[in-house]
Structure 1
Amino acid sequence: MVLTRGGLVEGVHRGRLVVCDASGAILEAAGDPEFPVYLRSSAKPFQAMPLVLSGAADALGLGEEELAVACASHNGEQEHLAAVRSLLRKAGLTEEALQSGVHPPLHAPVAEELARSGERPRPLHGNCSGKHAGMLAVCAHQGWDTGSYRELTHPLQRWVLEIVARMCGVERENIPVPRDGCGVPTFAVPLRGLAAGFARLATGRELPDRLAEASLRIREAMRSRPFMVAGTGRLDTALMQKTELVVKSGAEAVFAAGSPEGWGVALKISDGASRAVRPAAVAALGRLGAGVPGERGLSEVRNLHGEPVGRLIPLV
């Protein structure tokens, strides 16, 4: 991926890409597909599966909006906050139970409105509040401690690790598990494992029946409510609105998508530059025959006056 300005190459972003089927077989690769990558928020659909597997989703009467926001890196728009509050309320909890950390809403107009009101951001506004609300709902349903739900030794986090290992085809003992930005565990697996995991998420293939059923329910919630997964102007939402893919991006320029045709794709920009993800992902999907209406495999760069001054162009 190169950044051009005035006819010269001003910057270069390198990355890795792999396409797998649900068996884990590599269909296409650029760069080392076996080198590990932290899943970051691309793991959220896997982290939400205990909501279905535990029976909490049915027992609490969760709708697709609530399941989708449990998989989200959301903008903090009103629809997102309402879904998180509803999820917590149905679990008999309040937002004070959230331990997802604090940052301003990702959507700039919402963050500006919050600042103008004099209100300080709370954990509810953070992009991971849906994931944490979902985890808390599982704990409440199972009778597990809700104060320590972030700890790797907690039964919920041990269960999530097992699910990630199964979805990505990696032995649990071989997955490094440090903390993510929001404080719960994150996971390092080969990039190939992430691609295979999304092929399995998209199709249910190569999974035990109960996990395949949970994948179907999570996938359908994300696809039927794509706005809840990200929000206004966000890549994940746009791709799920315009294609048949299930999509989830993560911090440090991680991207994953799965197709009902049976393949999954995973992308990692090496320097973590988020600006490179959209054009690289769109170009890769186009090569796979999953062209995105209204999206092109390059991005215009504009200056502070709104004038076009360069382009980000993928080279694969």
Structure 2
Amino acid sequence: MTNTEPLVEVWRGPFCESLHHGHAVIWDAGGDIVAAWGDPEAVILPRSSCKMVQALPLVESGAAEAFGLTDAQLALACASHQGAHVHTDMVEAWLADLGLSQEALRCGPQMPNDRDARNELIRGYREPGQSHNNCSGKHSGFLTLGRHLGAGPEYVDTDHPVQLAVKAAFEEVTGEDSPGHGIDGCSAPNFACTMTGLARAMAGFAAATGDGDPRDQAQFRLTRAMAAYPHLVAGEGRACTILMRAMNGRASIKTGAEAVFVGILPEQKLGIAVKIEDGTTRGAEAVITQLLIGAGVLAADHPAAIRYRHGPILNRRGIETGAYRISDSLADWRL
């Protein structure tokens, strides 16, 4: 990855110990770059940051309405969840409504990140199931769409009608022909795009009114579902959930593996895409937080904003040992 820009410094005492380089693009729904750092044309895999795009065919096809999906279920379809009971119970009920079990999922089992759920499994000498996988909500959506389309069970295959619909939607909202794909941790294809394409896609969601064509209605419903159910999109202790709560529904945000983060800002009709070169989550969290502050949807003095853009970094005794510093070019940006 080339032409990155230093965005976040990590300080320990008087020493800059680490430096996170990356890219960030802010796109206006009117069709222009508002601001950019690094290379706007850098090609990335958006990973789980684009789950709302992967959920578009579920809604715009009519599948969500046909199966009576709630906004909470749609938020879960966009989630990288913790595997807490609030997540897995909903997934298992969703599958039951389809007349399916966890065996129908293709995401694979995963030990839950939620401490209580993980400890419950360990104490019971039980193995995690596929409902614990952070992508099980997305896969429940894929299964629902597949049922609606009358397609076969191998919905993660690139030539399956579900993934063909996802790719078509992805290319349309990014405004690009994807140069290829990688296989995500949950076994589904993940299509590549440029930073600008990803930000453009998020701006499209931000501009949706709910009164337009099926895509507009789908984008509007998914964005509002994420904002209404932040605990389902990630979980307790996670940046997506904490920051969306701090913004009181003014923006929907989503992280992805390898330090990708996106933001959907309906009031400003802006889309944000962030990628940190070294794949470190703390860097992406710091950058998206700063951009949300600059866009005016997150108060700079909110404890969540301070936590993710500054720190402090504490050692195991609770002693402050350092902090993050945002680059001047990033910190000075205001909408």
* Bin for the TM-score computed over the shorter chain: over 0.9
Q: Does 1:117 align with 2:124?
A: yes
Structure 1 segments (4+ residues) deviating >4 Å: none
Deviations 1:108-163 (A, max 9, x none): 343233222211111110100111111011112221101x1110000110110010
Correspondence for 2:155 = 149
Unaligned runs of 5+ in 1: none
CA contact (8 A) 2:263 2:271 kept: yes
Cα deviations by residue, 1:19-45 (Å, 9 ceiling, x for unpaired): 101244111011101111111001100
Query: Which residue number corresponds to residue 204 of structure 2?
Result: 200
Summarize deviations over 1:78-118 as a string: whole Å, max 9, x none: 11112211221222211111110222112234323322221
TM-score when scaled to structure 1? Answer: 0.94
**Which of residues 256, 265, 270 is equivalent to 1:263?**
270
- AA partner of residue 248 (structure 1): K
Is residue 80–residue 228 contact of structure 1 (8 Å, CA) maintained in 2?
A: yes
Residue identity opposite 2:286 in structure 1? P
CA displacement, residues 271-295 of structure 1 (integer Å, 9 cap, x when unaligned):
0001222222111211222224322
User: Given the alignment, which residue of 212, 217, 220 partners 1:213?
Assistant: 217
User: Structure 1 residues 308 and 114, CA, compared in 2 at 3 Å: closer, same or farther?
Assistant: farther
* Residues 1:68 and 2:72 are matched in the alignment: no
Query: What corresponds to 1:100 in structure 2?
Result: 107
* CA–CA distance in structure 2, aligned partners of residues 216 and 195 of structure 1: 16
Q: Separation in 1 of the partners of 2:258 and 2:119?
A: 24
For residues 42-75 of structure 1, the C-alpha deviation after alignment (integer angstroms, 9 at most, x for no partner) is: 1100111222122221121111111111110001
SS at match of 1:14: strand
Contact 2:230 2:240 in 1 (8 A): yes
Aligned residues: 312
How far did residue 208 of structure 1 move?
7.3
Work out which of the residue numbers 168, 171, 179 in structure 2 matches 1:165: 171
* Shift in CA distance, 306/119, structure 1 to aligned 2, threshold 3 Å: farther
Confirm or deny: 8 A CA contact 1:24 1:192 kept in the other structure: no
For the residue of structure 2 that corresponds to 1:12, the secondary structure is strand
In structure 2, the partner of 1:20 is 27
Q: 1:134 aligned to 2:141?
A: yes
Task: Identify the residue that residue 179 of structure 1 maps to in structure 2.
Answer: 183
**Which runs of 5 or more residues in structure 2 are unaligned?**
1-7, 331-335
The 3 A distance-change label for structure 1 pair 109 and 10 is: farther
> Cα–Cα, structure 1 residues 213 and 62, in superposed 2: closer, same or farther, change >3 Å?
same
Separation in structure 2 between the aligned mates of residue 187 and residue 83 of structure 1, nearest angstrom:
27
Q: Which moved more, 1:207-216 or 1:264-273?
A: 207-216
1:241-261 CA-to-partner distances (Å, cap 9, x unmatched) read: 222001111000000001112
> d(CA) in 2 for partners of 1:145 and 1:290?
43
Name the SS of the counterpart of 2:147 in structure 1.
helix
**SS of residue in 1 equivalent to 2:26:** strand
**Alignment match of 2:12 (pick from 5, 19, 29):** 5
Amino acid at match of 1:223: A
CA distance in 1, matches of 2:226, 2:291: 21
Quick check: 1:188 aligned with 2:173? no
For residues 160-216 of structure 1, give each alpha carbon's deviation from its aligned partner in whole angstroms, at most 9, with x where no partner exists. Answer: 001011111112xx43112111100001111111111111112227x9721111111
Supply the RMSD in Å over aligned alpha carbons: 1.6
- Tell me the residue number matched to 1:308: 320
Q: More deviation in 123-132 or 292-301?
A: 292-301
1:59 has 2:63 as partner: no
Distance 1:53 1:20 in 2: 24
Instruction: Look up the equivalent residue of 2:215 and give its one-letter code.
Output: L
Stretch moving more, 63-72 or 52-61: 52-61
Counterparts of 1:223-242 in structure 2 under 5 Å? Answer: 223-242=227-246
How far apart in 1 are the matches of 2:173 and 2:245?
A: 24
In the superposition, the TM-score normalised over structure 2's length comes to 0.89
Q: What SS does the aligned partner of 1:186 have? A: strand
